[in-house]
């Protein structure tokens, strides 16, 4: 989950502990264009204070007005739709054709919000199931996943810590990549044992460690919500990180470099007893082909591929850096033959 939704849960737990009543609002379905995805959270306190969002602001205003006028219905959760008609869509600032369905849940001790926050803080991924007929909640630990289920009777949501990104190397490219990754809400760790690089590191919001990359990978206990990108161009550092990272459940493991260097890297990793199945998970050269040349453009290319992997989107092979450059080279050679 992202830090915004975690903030919603923490605020809700704090309000309940302070004696306030609160309403937890979850986006459960969207049709057409919508400002926020399924699973987005909003909490409304009985006095109208809000944390989080489910739209661009107009729906939030309507929910606040409902709470202030009628208070929080503490009987049971219920659903609410916005944007069913064109007039309503325009009124609430929804995109053309957009409709969202919300579950509004009055919170109390039975909601188990504090227990959920505690589990997330301990790095657990938790399935929370809400019975709409009674408001009863169950929590169950599970492996990493991100899937909301709603059948009109019960709402199942998956909650966990923020996605983590381990970057090997504290060079110029890492600076741009980490700044963008922070904007994408990753918890970013940068690993580089080289003093000449770490002494000049100046990206706030990241954690910098000077341990050897393989030790860092092992210490972080990477899971399905983790990604690793090797950026040093130094086999002694990149290979150590990749060797261990490919044996973890990390959803993305990648490294920069030319096609020739990537092929050589794979051969070196085989000598470290990395299996063919593990090597098949390696994204290298990392990124999708967008003609990138500068460090910021390369950072965008890499994080676009990471985002696709995170969201379960398969990138066509022709969009990979290696395949695209091979195609370019073939076209260039063909052009030379014709010119001659």
Q: 294-304, pLDDT tens digit by residue?
A: 999 999 999 99
- Which tens digits make up the pLDDT trace of 189-227? 999 999 989 888 999 999 999 999 999 999 999 998 999
21 assigned to some structural domain = yes
- Which of 124, 159, 194 marks a domain boundary? 159
How do residues 271-308 score in pLDDT, each as one tens digit? 988 999 999 999 999 999 999 999 999 999 999 999 99
Per-residue pLDDT tens digits for 250-262:
999 999 988 899 9
Same domain for 201 and 134, yes or no, is no
Q: What predicted TM-score, i.e. pTM, was given to this entire model?
A: 0.74
Q: Kindly tell me if the per-residue pLDDT of 53 is higher than 50.
A: yes
332 occurs within a structural domain:
no
Q: CATH code at 168? A: 3.40.50.720
Q: Say yes or no to pLDDT of 231 above 50.
A: yes
Indicate the residue among 159, 186, 217 that finishes a domain: 159
> What is the rounded CA–CA span in Å between residue 299 and residue 304?
8
φ/ψ (deg, to 5) at 277: -65, -40
Q: In this prediction, what percent of the chain has a pLDDT beyond 70? A: 88
Task: Supply the mean pLDDT for the chain.
Answer: 88
- The answer to whether the beta carbons of residues 259 and 287 sit under 8 Å apart is no
For residues 328 and 17, the model is more confident at: 17
Residue after which a domain boundary falls, among 106, 133, 159? 159
pLDDT per residue as tens digits for the range 79-109: 998 875 566 655 655 555 568 899 999 999 8
Residue 320 has what DSSP assignment? B
Q: What is the pLDDT of residue 339?
A: 37
Number of domains in the chain: 2
Residue range(s) defining the domain that contains residue 94? 3-159
Nearest to residue 178, comparing CAs of 23, 53, 295? 295
Pair 133, 253 in one domain: no
């Amino acid at each position: 989950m992202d830090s915004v939704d975690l903030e919603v849960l923490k605020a809700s737990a704090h309000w309940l502990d302070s004696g306030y009543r609160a309403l937890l609002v979850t986006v459960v379905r969207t049709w057409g264009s919508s400002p926020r995805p399924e699973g987005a959270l909003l909490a409304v306190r009985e006095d109208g204070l809000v944390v989080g969002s489910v739209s661009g602001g107009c729906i939030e205003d309507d929910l606040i007005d409902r709470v202030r006028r009628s208070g929080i219905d503490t009987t049971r959760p219920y659903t609410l739709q916005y944007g069913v008609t064109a007039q309503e869509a325009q009124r609430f600032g929804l995109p053309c054709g957009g409709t969202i369905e919300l579950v509004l849940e009055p919170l109390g001790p039975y909601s188990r919000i504090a227990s959920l926050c505690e589990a997330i803080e301990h790095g657990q991924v938790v399935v929370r199931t809400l019975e709409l007929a009674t408001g009863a909640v169950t929590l169950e630990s599970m492996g990493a996943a991100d899937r909301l289920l709603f059948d009109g009777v019960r709402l199942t949501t998956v909650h966990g810590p923020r996605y983590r990104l381990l970057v090997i190397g504290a060079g110029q490219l890492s600076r741009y990549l980490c700044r963008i990754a922070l904007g994408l809400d990753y918890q970013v760790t940068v690993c580089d044992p080289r003093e000449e690089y770490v002494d000049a590191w100046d990206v706030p919001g990241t954690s910098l460690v000077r341990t050897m990359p393989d030790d860092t990978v092992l210490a972080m206990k990477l899971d399905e919500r983790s990604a690793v990108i090797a950026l040093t161009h130094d086999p002694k550092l990149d290979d150590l990180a990749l060797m261990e990272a490919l044996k973890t459940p990390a959803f993305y493991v990648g490294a920069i470099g030319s096609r020739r260097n990537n092929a050589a890297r794979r051969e070196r990793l085989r000598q470290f007893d990395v299996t063919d199945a593990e090597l098949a998970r390696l994204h290298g050269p990392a990124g999708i082909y967008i003609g990138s040349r500068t460090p910021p453009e390369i950072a965008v290319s890499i994080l676009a591929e990471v985002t696709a992997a995170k969201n379960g989107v398969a990138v066509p092979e022709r969009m990979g850096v290696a395949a695209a450059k091979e195609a370019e080279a073939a076209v260039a050679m063909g052009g030379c033959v014709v010119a001659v």
